A and B are shown apart, each in its own frame.
Chain A
Amino acid sequence: MNKLISIVFWPLVAIVGAFAFAALALGRGETVSAVWLVTAALSVYFIAYRFYSKYIAERVLQLDDSRTTPAVRHNDGMDYVPTNKWVLYGHHFAAIAGAGPLVGPVLAAQMGYLPGTLWILAGVVLAGAVQDFIVLFASMRRDGKSLGEMIKIELGPVPGSLALVGVLAIMIIILAVLSLVVVKALTSSPWGLFTIAATIPIALLMGIYMRLIRPGRVGEASAIGVVLLLASLYFGRAVAADPSWGPLFTLTGTQLAWALILYGAIAASLPVWLMLAPRDYLSTFLKIGTVVALAVGIYVVAPPLVMPQTTRFIDGSGPVFSGSLFPFLFITIACGSVSGFHSLISSGTTPKMIERESHARFIGFGGMLAESFVAIMALTAACVLDPGIYFAMNAPAAAIGTTAANAAQVISNWGFTITPDMIEQTAKDIGETTILSRAGGAPTLAVGMAQILAQAIGGKTMEAFWYHFAILFEALFILTAVDAGTRVGRFMIQDMLGHVYKPLGNTEFLPANVVGTVLCVGLWGYFLYQGVVDPLGGINTLWQLFGVGNQMLAGIALLLCTSVLVKMKRERYVWVTLVPTAWLLVTTLTAGIEKIFHSNPSIGFLALANKFSAAAAEGKVLAPAKSIAEMQRVAFNNYLDAGVCAVFVVLVLAMCLYAAKISLQALRQAEPTAHEIPPMAQPA
């Protein structure tokens, strides 16, 4: 019976997928429904899961249910708990899916919907899902060890330390860029800022409720939280319109940057039960709910893809980010295709909760497919917007000016006809004063989502609510990430400082904690602040820096996976990880080196820095800078960015050499040399 279903079902999926791709490919010159895009993606996911992940699970990794997992071996009812595979799937998905898959695809939409879609689909099947699955597998066979520990054990102590430095650097950049997304979304947006600010007292209330009033009653607290959240969303409009309250919540970019830096420092110092945990609960429920709602919304509304398949900006002259399709598309969309950050999650709590080895396929590979689906929906939401609106929201002020009239003229000259009225009407529809230059993905996605969801529920009058709901949903988990990330960064910094001066490494020692927190917040705060004030910086620069770093981490994780396969004497199958490793190294090294050395100042950090410092030395002020001091700051920041980029490049090259050396050694051995827990290990 099962066989029969299989014989009928899989060809059907293939046919539907092929049909959807045909609709996308043949729809030249006319708009295509977004449903085809989403359907094509789903077909690819199903087929990849059914066939490729099965191949990896059975042939390459040889998952073996007779081996006990860490959850079974160390079952303590708390940290190590064998968990239902569907529940763990949801838990894992909630941990890997953040703002990343929402931002990258939106930025990449400037090249049209096709390049992004193809990279998301090819990337996730051949690289991203493979990485998540194999890292999860490796950690599961090593008692749930973290990525850093595994690199140390399998590749040696020096690569282990190098990887940690890389992780810290990426963490700093991601915290800065995520905060910048929030700043861009909330600048001069009193309604948005009020609802986000309201999440702080709401989370505190929930935390106190769960800890002191009704211990452990998470359901009650979450219900209260959701109701209050919706109330704040509802009353936000009135607050924003109020003559005395409205201005209080209308902040400039720099004010918001300082507010976030202060928030990060305080939030990361509070007890975790007070704010971090309750807000994480809210954000998890909201995240899963919204993703499902968006998927249903796309199918119900079936909006047309208004963005062209490809735009002329594949040549590298795009206003949202500079650089040609190769290699920059492949670092702009990281999460959704392949994200190095996932290797940290896949070697975190998930491997400690897997019930059976065979579940790793569904959770590791399948979990990444779900994140990729989120990325596809984000891309869809950006591409159902009028391209003129898309560019008005994502191009920097340096390119389109600060008035609707100016922006409309510039964008129409690019070939995307738009009138000032349309820009102003869109802002009015979503209850904002302006939509210009709100780069960073979140606001664009929110407008797209608002248009889709409003067509499904509520009509035009609900659009402003849906917009602010979408902003709330994104800001909520970005703020959680800032809080949790600052803590992780603090522990890593303290760990490193401990090698220099022992007391600083003591995480129970308050002054040492303060030093660690201040250093961590100071580092990401610096990049954030520069991103806000530097007229040429911002998302454009930081997101690419993050992309390079994140893909480098993926490269490192895949190098580990490759070495592990060789050490298991499974070298016949090594192409499974070697092919994506090679592709990632080629694209990210090219991107990294171009970012540093490219002669075009809009791409190369050094070229821009040299241009500005040379002009400053002659006493000339180049637009958009307004003073010599600003000129010097632009130059300094670009030298700094070039330095960070160089660190990533050197790190990954070093890791490559270590992995090659270890793999060659292992090839010469007759027996497996991987450090796995023996198959017959009994409960401790």
Chain B
Amino acid sequence: MRLKTREAPPAARAVDANDLQAEATAGFRERLVELRRACRQLIGIPDYESYLTHMAERHPGEPVLSRREFCARAIDRKYGKGGPRCC
């Protein structure tokens, strides 16, 4: 939110406010991404971005799966043998 004052606010203060706003938006967006990730993991879908990070850290240079392949394989692996479902 930007303060509407009659006098032009000092430049430094305006920048701060913008930064804060940008930070808040970024924080909110990050929360949303986290929430989405949590919802997916809840139903047993591993996170593609984490997989990319993992591959980059642990196996740099090796070929990675595309998002489509990754999701397909995750589903096949999770349900391939049915997986016992509880009573």
Contacts and interface: CB of A to CB of B under 8 A. Distances in A.
B84 A273 contact: no
Contacts of B83: 348-349, 484, 487-488
A335 interface: yes
Q: Which of A178, A277, A488, A546 has the most CB of B within 10 A?
A: A277
Contacts of A335: 86-87
Given A78-B77, A87-B42, A280-B43, A219 B36 contact: yes
Interface stretch (B3-11, B12-20, B22-30, B64-72): B64-72
B43 A342 contact: no
B37 to A, nearest CB: 8
A480 B83 CA distance: 11
A335 B46 CA distance: 28
Nearest to A491: B81
Contact of A77 (B38, B43, B51, B85): B51
A20 B38 CA distance: 35
Nearest to B80: A272
Nearest to A103: B87
B81 to A, nearest CB: 5
Interface residues of A, number: 62
Contact of A216 (B38, B50, B70): B70
A588 interface: no
A36 interface: no
Interface in A48-88: 75-79, 81, 83-84, 86-88
Interface of chain B, main secondary structure? helix
A281 B43 contact: yes
Contacts of B41: 83-84, 87-88, 91
Interface string A144-165: 0000000000000000000000
Contacts of B75: 272-273, 277
A339 interface: yes
A490 interface: yes
B54 interface: yes
Interface in A435-482: 477, 480-481
B79 A484 contact: yes
A34 interface: no
A349 B44 contact: yes
Interface stretch (A92-100, A528-536, A558-566, A606-614): A92-100
Contacts of B76: 272-273
A484 B82 contact: yes
Given A75-B54, A77-B51, A272-B79, A485 B45 contact: no
Contact of B84 (A79, A99, A178, A345): A345
A44 interface: no
A178 B41 CA distance: 27
Nearest to A268: B82
A415 interface: no
A215 B68 contact: yes
Nearest to B53: A77
B86 A95 contact: yes
B43 A174 contact: no
Interface string A280-298: 1100110010000000000
Contacts of A100: 86-87
A409 to B, nearest CB: 36
Contacts of B38: 84, 86-87, 90
Given A216-B71, A281-B43, A484 B87 contact: no
Contacts of A349: 44, 78, 83
Given A484-B83, A484-B85, A277 B78 contact: yes
A276 interface: yes
A97 B71 CA distance: 25
B73 A488 contact: no
A342 B54 contact: no
Given A81-B50, A487-B82, A210 B87 contact: no
A480 B85 contact: yes
Contact of B55 (A77, A273, A341): A77
A298 B78 CA distance: 35
B87 A550 contact: yes
A77 B84 contact: no
A219 B36 CA distance: 8
A186 interface: no
A666 interface: no
Interface in A329-370: 334-335, 339, 341-342, 344-345, 348-349
Contacts of B86: 95-98, 100, 335, 339, 341-342, 345, 481
B80 to A, nearest CB: 6
Given A77-B55, A100-B87, A546-B87, A490 B82 contact: yes
Nearest to A167: B84
A539 interface: no
A488 B68 contact: no
A581 interface: no
A621 interface: no
A281 to B, nearest CB: 5
6 contacts: A76-B54, A79-B77, A90-B42, A97-B86, A341-B84, A487-B81
Interface of A: 75-79, 81, 83-84, 86-88, 90-91, 94-100, 171, 174, 178, 210-211, 215-216, 218-219, 268, 272-273, 276-277, 280-281, 284-285, 288, 334-335, 339, 341-342, 344-345, 348-349, 477, 480-481, 483-491, 546, 550
Given A77-B55, A273-B75, A491-B81, 13 more contacts: A78-B77, A90-B38, A91-B42, A210-B71, A219-B40, A276-B79, A281-B43, A344-B84, A483-B82, A484-B83, A484-B85, A485-B82, A486-B82
Interface of B: 36, 38-48, 50-55, 58, 67-68, 70-87
Task: Please give me the 9 A-B residue pairs with the lowest Cβ-Cβ distance, nearest first.
Answer: A487-B82, A100-B87, A77-B51, A272-B79, A77-B54, A216-B71, A488-B82, A215-B68, A481-B85
